[in-house]
């Protein structure tokens, strides 16, 4: 909830929210919310390659979540890796 509030207020994923996501992932590597927010934050900071890696983990863990596939396709397209 705090991540969503800070994102709405800042209009982006904050550094603090990214830190929380990384912390959560250190304890629970399959946490869908943390993976998604971390990928979004990386993309917003133009770290497209790392965002791709995180989103690949996300869709492996949560293949039924369509937004993850959509974001992964956008990132791959940006990187010229469309399949």
Give pLDDT tens digits along the chain (83 positions): 445 555 556 678 899 889 999 999 999 999 999 999 999 999 999 999 999 999 999 999 999 999 999 999 999 999 998 76
pTM beyond 0.85, yes or no: no
| CA gap 29, 58 in Å, rounded | 10
Q: Do 17 and 36 contact (CB within 8 A), yes or no?
A: no
Closest CA to 21 of 32, 12, 10: 32
Contacting residues for 55 by C-beta, under 8 A, at least 6 apart: 35, 39, 68, 71, 72, 75
Alpha carbons within 13 A on the beta-carbon side of 75: 25
């Amino acid at each position: 909830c705090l991540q969503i509030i800070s994102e709405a207020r800042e209009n982006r994923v904050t550094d603090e929210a990214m830190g929380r996501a990384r912390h959560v992932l250190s304890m629970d590597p399959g946490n869908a919310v943390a993976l998604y927010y971390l990928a979004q934050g990386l993309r917003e900071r133009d770290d497209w390659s790392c965002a791709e890696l995180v989103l690949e983990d996300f869709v492996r863990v949560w293949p039924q979540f369509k937004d993850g596939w959509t974001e992964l396709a956008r990132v791959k397209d940006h990187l010229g890796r469309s399949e």
